[in-house]
Amino acid sequence: MSGEDGVMVDVILPMEKAGDEKARRAAVAARLGISLSRIRELRLVKESIDSRQKKILFQLRLLAGVDGPLPPEHVPSRDYPPVRSGAPAALIVGFGPAGMFAALRCLELGVKPVVLERGKDVSSRRFDLAPIMRQGRVIEDSNYCFGEGGAGTFSDGKLFTRATKRGPVRDVYETFVAHGAPREILTDAHPHIGSNLLPNVVKAIRESILKAGGEIHFNARVEHLLRSADGRRVRGVACADGREFEANAVLLATGHSARDVYRMLLADGLVLEQKPFAVGVRIEHPQAFVDARQYHLNPGQKRPDQLPAARYSVTATIRDRGVHSFCMCPGGFIVPAATENDEVVVNGMSLARRDSPFANSGFVVSVHPEDTESFRRKHGVLAGVAYQKALETAACRAGGGMQKAPAQKVPDFLKGRVSSSLLPTSYHPGIVPHPLHELLPAEIVWRMREGMRMFDHKWRGFAGESAQLIGCETRTSSPVRIPRDERTLEHPGLEGLYPCGEGAGYAGGIVSAALDGRRCAEALAEQMQA
């Protein structure tokens, strides 16, 4: 039963006892059928909350030292091997999760990463968010989407993923911890860093790359690919400011909002593909309402201190299209995520404490390539991008400019009427009443309505008087896929070009993007060493 590495045990404890060491030891001993005195040490491996019933339970996975102590706990390291003199170099375009983890993996594999980021470093980037929030003015290369750390840096930092078969998820979590993220992300079933902590984590990752001999260049927006004499292979990139960088491998990790990259690739004669995405709105509730429903609280009852701000996830299929929540932010804020000044785009974020009085989530409907047919004649394979852009510019006009967003109470949206007044909101630039049912496409609207009624039936109040919609949420994922060879991960039309992450259509969140960055780095390193 005992062993040098301990014994893994799953136990369930009521909320009141879940944090009590004695209760944990007693539960483990009972589960193993041994005396309490034999439990020498316990270590938390995973923790989740079961709130399906009124009596809330904590599900704990514990590593038990039976008849002896546990081995020392693994401490994640941020030491990377220094770049060797003469090591091959790879250009990494974009410094979001895919680019960051690609760069770190390159260091481990003996490849020198040279990172090109169109935006600014994370400290400078923070100052560029003020004009968006206070003046409604977007700095187009430095905003909530572009800059060091990518879109996730200032928009939450949720790490929960279902991409467990795509690579070593635990390694991604440990890398974040090594660079300053809370250790709790290793044990939490729904790990989250928080928008206030992520910038320092991102900064620490940058320092690790530079310390090992990698390069990072900010304000380096790539405009052209450089090719070999025969045109078959990439040999580098040219930036908007005239700088050129040469390498035999270019990893594109530019994110789903870098639409100019798609146009650049098309102009260079490279094939792109349409893929499904989703659009809709942000739905906002009081966090107290979400807590009450999820935790079965009585009216006016405060959420127990042992429980985090409650989250939810809703999904349905309505007439062959998915309707679902997206990027739910308990105790969070709605933020302006536009990348150009003629558009309004909303997204969500939460700080580490998740102590805002609001909860928000994307509420979106799937869009398939055939749904964008009206844009295809003019925009071709970028029809999905044009579809998104049309909604974003319409939202901008509806809001009246200055990043004000159109909004509507949910009961009014269901009845097809303009809201005579609006509820308080976390969206700082401000909201204005507007009939979102007229702004959004009809096939989106009726599915949203059906979904809201369905979810309200299961979760009374979801579509009630305290719920409000703010539009538009359009950047859920890329509407474009940059194809790549299944084995080499290179673009089939250009050797040495590695499409990667969310912008290339192969990821959908921080962790899956990080895993794809690692995978592409491994592929390019293998090709270089062949």
DSSP string for residues in 214-281: -EEESS--EEEEEE-TTSSBEEEEEETTS-EEE-S-EEE---TT-HHHHHHHHHTT---EE--EEEEE
pLDDT for position 335: 95
pLDDT for position 194: 85
Q: Which of 440, 500, 88, 6 is nearest to 256 (CA)?
A: 500
3-class secondary structure, 326: strand
pLDDT band at 346 (very low <50, low <70, confident <90, very high): very high
pLDDT band at 178 (very low <50, low <70, confident <90, very high): very high
Give mean pLDDT, residues 279-300: 96
What kind and span of H or E run contains 454?
A: helix 442-458
Beta strand extents in 24-153 (DSSP E only): 39-50, 57-66, 89-93, 112-116
pLDDT at 21 over 70: yes
Q: Which residues contact 406 (CB under 8 A, 6 or more apart)?
A: 344, 395, 398, 399, 431, 432, 433, 434, 436, 439, 470, 471, 472
pLDDT for position 74: 86
- Beta strands 346-350 and 244-246 are unpaired
Q: What are phi and psi of 48, to 5 degrees?
A: -140, 160
pLDDT digits (tens, 9 = 90+) for 234-247: 999 999 999 999 99
Q: What are phi and psi of 400, to 5 degrees?
A: 85, 10
pLDDT at 226 over 60: yes
Give mean pLDDT, residues 282-311: 95
pLDDT band at 91 (very low <50, low <70, confident <90, very high): very high
29-33, 130-134, 159-163, 299-303, range with the lowest pLDDT: 159-163
What kind and span of H or E run contains 289?
A: helix 287-295
Domains and CATH numbers, the chain: 7-66 (3.30.70.2700), 89-272+482-529 (3.50.50.60), 274-473 (no CATH)
Distance of CA 254 to the CA centre of its chain: 14
pLDDT at 155 over 70: no
What is the spatial distance between Cα 73 and Cα 65, in angstroms, rounded to a whole number?
12
pLDDT band at 3 (very low <50, low <70, confident <90, very high): low
Q: What are phi and psi of 69, to 5 degrees?
A: -75, 165
Q: Which of 447, 408, 157, 189 is nearest to 315 (CA)?
A: 447
Strand partners for 321: 318
% of the chain surpassing 70 pLDDT: 98
| C-alpha pair distances (Å), 1 with each of 32, 63, 66 | 9, 12, 8
| C-alpha pair distances (Å), 316 with each of 336, 361, 437, 455 | 27, 15, 20, 9
pLDDT for position 156: 63
What is the spatial distance between Cα 118 and Cα 215, in angstroms, rounded to a whole number?
14
Give mean pLDDT, residues 342-369: 95
pTM score: 0.95
Average pLDDT, the chain: 95
Residues across the chain: 530
pLDDT band at 170 (very low <50, low <70, confident <90, very high): very high
pLDDT digits (tens, 9 = 90+) for 447-497: 999 999 999 999 999 999 999 999 999 999 999 999 999 999 999 999 999
pLDDT for position 94: 98
Question: The sheet that has 244-246: what strands, in order across it?
Answer: 222-227, 234-239, 244-246
How many Cα atoms within 13 Å fall on the side-chain side of residue 339? Answer: 18
Give mean pLDDT, residues 92-113: 98
pLDDT at 98 over 90: yes
pLDDT for position 160: 76
Cβ atoms 351, 194 nearer than 8 A:
yes
Higher pLDDT, 429 or 157: 429
Contacts 24+ apart (CB under 8 A), 242-249: 243/217, 245/91, 245/114, 245/116, 245/217, 247/88, 247/89, 247/90, 247/91, 247/114, 248/88, 248/496, 248/528, 249/88, 249/90, 249/91, 249/496, 249/498, 249/524, 249/527, 249/528
Sign of CA dihedral 354, 450, 392, 255: positive
DSSP label of 440: S
pLDDT at 1 over 70: no
pLDDT digits (tens, 9 = 90+) for 248-276: 999 999 999 999 999 999 999 999 999 99
pLDDT for position 300: 87
pLDDT for position 225: 98
Which residue bears the tokens 């071709």? 380
Give mean pLDDT, residues 307-330: 95
What is the spatial distance between Cα 356 and Cα 360, in angstroms, rounded to a whole number?
10
pLDDT for position 2: 47
pLDDT for position 410: 98
